[in-house]
Structures are given as structure tokens and as C-alpha cells.
Amino acid sequence: MAQILYKELSYKITGLCFKVHNELGRFCKEKQCADLFESLLKEEGIKYKREFDTKLINKESPVGNRGDFLIDDKVIVEFKVKNIITKEDYYQVQRYLKSAKLKLGLIFNFRNRYLKAKRVLNSSVSIK
């Protein structure tokens, strides 16, 4: 049976995103969602970086890969506010994971009626 990667941290991040979605609704801008999420991270005492460049994590990374949040130096969180999550969004997070040499990314689309997390795994990093 497959093990969930960073189970507790993933649940905590997802719970905070549900709080954001419940408070702001589905028609807010991405920046508004990210601002509230950041304040919730501060309240919870969770270590994060906002709008980080993957070059800071991995010196070999190409310039220009900038994610929304890096949580606890383990999980990339990407916010979207659009009708559907596309393959391009998925590939974008995969590119961030590969360039940062991290294992897990989460995509949240705040435009949906019901918030869902999309998990993105980096298959090029061995998962232990």
C-alpha cells in the first residue's frame, strides 16, 4: 500500500486552504487568497517562504521558476483561481519540484465551488 507523503503537513496545509476558501468564497483574486493563507501560516507557526525562486533551494536550478509558497522547506503550494486546473498547471508544479529537487507539490483552485487539492509528485526524486 502506498504511503502518503508528508501526511500531517499536507492535511494541515489543506485545512488552512479550506479556511481561506470558506472565508473568502470562490470569486476572490489569487493574491487575496494567498494573503489570508500567509496570515494563517503565521498564526499556526508554520515555516514558509512566499513567492520563492527555486534557485534559492537548488543552485543548479534555472532562473525564473517562482512558486507561490514553499512550506517547511518540503512542500510547494501553488494557488490558482480559474475554472479548471489544466495539464499545464500540473506540469508547472512538476517543473518547480524538479528544479528544486523536492518531492511534493499541492495545487489549490479557489474558483471551484468545493475546494480540492491536487497532489503532484516528483518522480525523479527517490521517495523514502
Q: pLDDT per residue over 85-103, tens digit each?
A: 999 999 999 999 999 999 9
In a domain, 62, yes or no: yes
- pLDDT higher than threshold 90 for residue 123: no
In a domain, 65, yes or no: yes
CATH number at residue 100: 3.40.1350
- Cβ contacts of residue 12 below 8 Å, gap of 6+? 44, 46
Question: Could you tell me the pTM of the whole model?
Answer: 0.91
Phi, psi of 44 (to 5 degrees): -80, -10
In a domain, 106, yes or no: yes
pLDDT per position as a tens digit, 2-53: 688 999 999 999 999 999 999 999 999 999 999 999 999 999 999 999 999 8
Containing structural domain, residue 50: 7-121
User: So what's the pLDDT on residue 1?
Assistant: 45
Where is 68: in which H helix or E strand? strand 66-71
